[in-house]
């Protein structure tokens, strides 16, 4: 694809325009990155108060499969991306008949379906050297009966529409498995064997139209109730050999499907008896990811900058991290006191701490579990960053200080 430069002129005389399907916080940060490079932006999202729609030049307020809305987006934009994986893949395929779309509908379709995703990971395993957890596909009653007891205890996950811990349940035996599958109303599922978990990590790469790939160093992640809570991003967060394996595997997973754009792949580090643990691929997100938010303040190029570069056909610079960082995810819970009454978080005290960078997403209403923003902490050394992160978490009333 020829580069879509910021000052490229369309027949209408307008500068080049980049579009995004989805108006959440990831779309908002993409829009900001595109605008810094001089692009006009367009967002398609049905919510009139969507965070990305509020800051974009154009906001098309329709459903993701609305033919008129998709036609509007095609007419406005020179290239289109997506900010979350549950945008209908068919809608991206429709857009791709008119404009470059990155990532493409096939890649997004794989990420939307755990069954396809597992098959993709297994197909990459010989090259990547990293397999996914032992698992079984359950789409029929016959497949349920055929499940090996060796896969239990395990986690039953719906094949589609599961994220942030939703659409999954732990099961310890075949009886519980049958009950859980019935509770999911017999929808296609994947049963994954529970593994002895030591840590979780992720790798973010960006791949261009011509196949060039750059990546950020792997980050170690801590989840609570299935939602990312803390990301550790500094050199000693993971063993070097394990980090390199994760980085290599992620590039292989992107190359295998000719991926274009920013891709995040999440891994489990398991206790397999080796010195540093084994690596198991868990899932992928065809977009920037929460665990990459530290790149906005700790690196010379962010994951959102790379998303813009990849889709517009611009050069992909290899990111350089200039500061150790910790990212704290800010959920709506901290907007309420112990009695459930509204309160304003103590930003005054938090922002008085050195190296704190607050990113709020412009959402009007806080709810428990809702992602409202994130706090990046950077500094000259790891010890100082950890100390500041603990102070910030304590001020905000975030749980799990031991995880920092």
Q: What is the pLDDT of residues 339-392, one digit of tens each?
A: 889 999 999 999 999 999 999 999 999 999 999 999 999 999 999 999 999 999
> Same domain, yes or no, for 161 and 205?
no
Q: Considering the domain boundaries, does residue 115 fall inside one?
A: no
- The domain spanning residue 55 has which CATH number? 3.40.50.20
From 193, 222, 238, give the residue that closes a domain. Answer: 193
> Same domain, yes or no, for 365 and 324?
yes
Q: Which pLDDT band, with edges at 50, 70 and 90, does 10 fall under?
A: low
SS3 at position 276: coil
- The domain spanning residue 184 has which CATH number? 3.30.1490.20
Q: Considering the domain boundaries, does residue 145 fall inside one?
A: yes
Chain CA centroid to CA 342, Å: 29
> Same domain, yes or no, for 231 and 280?
yes
| Per-residue pLDDT tens over the stretch 356-366 | 999 999 999 99
Q: Which pLDDT band, with edges at 50, 70 and 90, does 162 fall under?
A: low
> Same domain, yes or no, for 236 and 145?
no
The two structure tokens encoding residue 258: 């000719």
The two structure tokens encoding residue 162: 């599961």
Q: At what angle do helices 303-312 and 25-36 cross, to 10 degrees?
A: 70
The yes-or-no verdict on residue 72 having pLDDT over 80 is yes
Q: What share of the chain is helix, strand, coil (3-state, %, to 5)?
A: 35, 25, 40
Q: Which pLDDT band, with edges at 50, 70 and 90, does 303 fall under?
A: very high
Q: Considering the domain boundaries, does residue 179 fall inside one?
A: yes
The yes-or-no verdict on residue 338 having pLDDT over 90 is no
Q: Considering the domain boundaries, does residue 127 fall inside one?
A: no
> Same domain, yes or no, for 269 and 385?
yes
Q: Considering the domain boundaries, does residue 106 fall inside one?
A: no
Residue whose structure tokens are 């899932």: 283
Domain with 261, as residue range(s), is 197-399
The two structure tokens encoding residue 75: 């007419």
SS3 at position 284: strand
- Average pLDDT of the residues of the chain: 94
| Per-residue pLDDT tens over the stretch 244-289 | 999 999 999 999 999 999 999 999 999 887 766 799 999 999 999 9
Cα separations (Å) of 3 from 134, 182, 288? 42, 50, 21
- Domains identified in the chain, total number: 3
Q: What residue ranges in 208-300 does DSSP mark as E strands?
A: 213-215, 219-224, 227-233, 261-270, 278-285
Show the DSSP H helices in 129-235 as ranges. 141-145, 174-183
Q: Would you tell me how many other CB atoms lie within 10 Å of the CB of residue 93?
A: 15
> Same domain, yes or no, for 355 and 267?
yes
> Same domain, yes or no, for 179 and 201?
no
> Same domain, yes or no, for 182 and 204?
no
> Same domain, yes or no, for 216 and 359?
yes
Kindly report whether the global pTM for this prediction surpasses the value 0.85: yes
> Same domain, yes or no, for 33 and 166?
no
- Which residues contact residue 237 at a Cβ distance below 8 angstroms, ignoring those fewer than 6 apart? 201, 218, 219, 220
- CA 31 to CA 56: how far, in whole Å? 6
Q: Considering the domain boundaries, does residue 8 fall inside one?
A: no
Torsion sign, CA atoms 233, 239, 242, 248: positive
Q: Considering the domain boundaries, does residue 120 fall inside one?
A: no
> Same domain, yes or no, for 167 and 273?
no
Q: Which pLDDT band, with edges at 50, 70 and 90, does 126 fall under?
A: confident
Q: Considering the domain boundaries, does residue 281 fall inside one?
A: yes
> Same domain, yes or no, for 268 and 374?
yes
Peptide bond just before 156 cis, omega within 30 deg: no
């Amino acid at each position: 694809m020829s580069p879509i430069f910021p000052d490229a002129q369309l027949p209408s005389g307008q500068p080049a325009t980049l579009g995004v399907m989805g108006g959440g916080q990831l779309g908002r940060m993409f829009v900001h990155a595109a605008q810094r490079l001089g692009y006009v932006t367009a967002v398609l999202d049905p919510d009139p108060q969507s965070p990305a729609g509020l800051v974009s030049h154009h906001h098309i307020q329709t459903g993701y499969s609305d033919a008129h809305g998709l036609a509007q987006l095609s007419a406005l934009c020179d290239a289109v991306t997506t900010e979350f994986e549950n945008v209908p893949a068919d809608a991206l395929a429709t857009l791709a008949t008119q404009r470059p779309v990155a990532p493409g509908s096939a890649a997004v379709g794989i990420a939307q379906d755990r069954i396809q995703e597992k098959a993709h990971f297994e197909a990459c395993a010989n090259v990547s050297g990293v397999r996914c957890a032992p698992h079984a596909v359950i789409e029929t009653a016959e497949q349920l009966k055929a499940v090996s007891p060796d896969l239990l205890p395990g986690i039953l996950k719906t094949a589609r529409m599961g994220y942030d811990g939703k659409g999954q349940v732990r099961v310890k035996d075949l009886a519980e498995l049958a009950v859980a599958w019935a509770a999911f109303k017999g929808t296609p599922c994947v049963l994954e064997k529970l593994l002895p978990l030591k840590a979780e990590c992720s790798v973010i790469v960006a791949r261009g139209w011509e196949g060039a790939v750059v990546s950020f160093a792997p980050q170690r992640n801590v989840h609570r109730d299935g939602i990312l809570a803390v990301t550790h991003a500094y050199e000693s967060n993971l063993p070097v050999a394990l980090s390199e394996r994760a980085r290599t595997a992620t590039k292989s997973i992107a190359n295998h499907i000719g991926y274009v754009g920013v891709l995040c792949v999440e891994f489990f580090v398991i206790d397999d008896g080796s010195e540093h643990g084994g690596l198991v691929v868990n899932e992928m997100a065809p977009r920037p990811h929460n665990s990459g938010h530290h790149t906005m303040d700790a690196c010379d190029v962010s994951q959102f900058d790379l998303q813009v570069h990849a889709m517009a056909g611009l050069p992909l610079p290899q990111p350089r991290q200039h500061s150790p960082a910790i990212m704290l995810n800010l959920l709506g819970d901290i907007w309420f006191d112990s009695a459930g009454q509204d309160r304003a978080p103590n930003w005054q005290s938090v922002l008085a701490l050195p190296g704190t960078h607050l990113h709020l997403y412009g959402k009007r209403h806080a709810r428990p579990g809702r992602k409202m923003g994130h706090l990046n902490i950077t500094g000259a050394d790891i010890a100082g960053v950890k100390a500041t992160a603990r102070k910030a978490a304590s001020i905000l009333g975030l749980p799990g200080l031991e995880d920092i």
